[in-house]
Amino acid sequence: MTSTYPSQTFFLYLNIDVFPAAWAAYRGMLITPANYGTQSFRPISYWPYNLLRTKRTLRFQKEIELEQIRRKFYSDHVSRLHGIYLWGDEPSAKRGERWRGTEGNHFHADYLVEVGFTYSGLTKADTNWIDAYLLPDNVPLDRNCLDWMHSYWRGEAYPQAEPLWEYVAQGRGVVYGTTLRMQAYQKVKALAPESLGQLELGRVAVEMGSDLYHLAPFIRQFSPTSFTVDFALDARDQNDQFMEKAGHQIKQIMEKDRTHINLEALDLLRGDTKRPDLRGMGVVFDCSEFSVDAGTLIESMVSTHDGSTCSGLTEASGDKLGPKHPDAP
């Protein structure tokens, strides 16, 4: 699939110890919310999802305020709540290992991957501003002193420190290499062995330019102040016409290199197959928990369902998915 948008090689850390990231890593395509779904139905990125899941109240408040500043003064910049954070070179990315002790063990060379990212939006900023003001829980949110947020969005370097430039991007990225991806496959296999057929077919679908079985978190409102975050599996290409095309694609690939297709996984689609059970990763919260009014939260994050076909993953585990093996009669 070709694109008129610019492309560039970047680096990022993929925390494949978390199921959705492992699924995305093996599938091989990273998609930001601004480039997925429709104008009226967008997922959220994993950064705000993780803040909601872990109840990082102060950080979430700061991110919402930072987003409001962006929307009001820098609307042409990429939203941190909907973008993905990338490094322009490997040395810069490795400097991110300093966060391992506070932000997660995945800030390690073993989790660092190279991606070919095609972007429709790209914002360069010095992450030292985030380190100084957003990450520390001992630095309160002072709405009377938001100069640092403007400095961040203007792309200014943090004073008296070597800049650590990050790129907040919106677009799609192809995960290069196989080492981390195969480790990710084993993670999915351990947690959801009956879903490996969908995962493998989703990987093939990427090569066909399809979002079939892309996994993403969505936030929805179910009362004036209450919200839920669930995961959904894209099923818009879950139809006979696409399955026929996928069958032809698989045969063509196997004629060139049989090792490029995991037939053992695809064979699971011939019988009973189950969607991954991610109910335990869902989040229910009230905006009062984060001292954010519902209107601001909706404006910043909420996606309204427009009828797109996605398989919700909060239903009872063991429900069967519809598609058969692409070669099945």
Beta-ladder partners of 122: 169
CB 217 within 8 A of CB 20: yes
CB 63 within 8 A of CB 57: no
Distance CA 302, CA 101 (A): 31
Phi, psi of 30, rounded to the nearest 5 degrees = -105, 130
Please compute the mean of the pLDDT values over residues 24-42 and round it to a whole number: 81
* Distance, CA of 265 to chain centre: 24
For the cut 80, the answer to whether the pLDDT of residue 293 exceeds it is yes
CB 58 within 8 A of CB 140: yes
Phi, psi of 165, rounded to the nearest 5 degrees = -80, 130
Please compute the mean of the pLDDT values over residues 101-110 and round it to a whole number: 86
pLDDT band for position 301 (cuts 50, 70, 90): confident
CB 207 within 8 A of CB 257: no
Q: Where are the domains of the chain?
A: 7-312
And the tokens for 221? 């409102």
**Mean pLDDT value across the chain:** 86
Please compute the mean of the pLDDT values over residues 164-175 and round it to a whole number: 94
Query: What are the residues whose beta carbons fall under 8 Å from the beta carbon of 246, sequence distance 6 or more?
Result: 201, 204, 205, 208, 326
Phi, psi of 22, rounded to the nearest 5 degrees = -65, -40
CB 80 within 8 A of CB 32: no
DSSP 41: B
And the tokens for 27? 């599938």
DSSP 312: E
And the tokens for 265? 């996984």
Distance CA 21, CA 191 (A): 13
Nearest residue to 34 via CA among 121, 153, 117: 121
Provide the pLDDT for residue 319: 37
**Least confident span in 26-35, 36-45, 74-83, 310-319:** 310-319
Distance CA 8, CA 184 (A): 24
pLDDT digits (tens, 9 = 90+) for 177-221: 999 999 999 999 999 999 999 999 999 999 999 999 999 988 888
pLDDT digits (tens, 9 = 90+) for 240-277: 999 999 999 999 999 998 899 999 999 999 887 788 88
For the cut 70, the answer to whether the pLDDT of residue 173 exceeds it is yes
Distance CA 87, CA 107 (A): 13
159: left (phi over 0), alpha (psi -120 to 50) or beta: beta
pLDDT band for position 318 (cuts 50, 70, 90): very low
pLDDT band for position 278 (cuts 50, 70, 90): confident
Angle formed at CA 294 by CA 291 and CA 296, multiple of 5 degrees: 85
CA dihedral 44, 155, 114, 254 (to 10 degrees): 50
DSSP 176: P
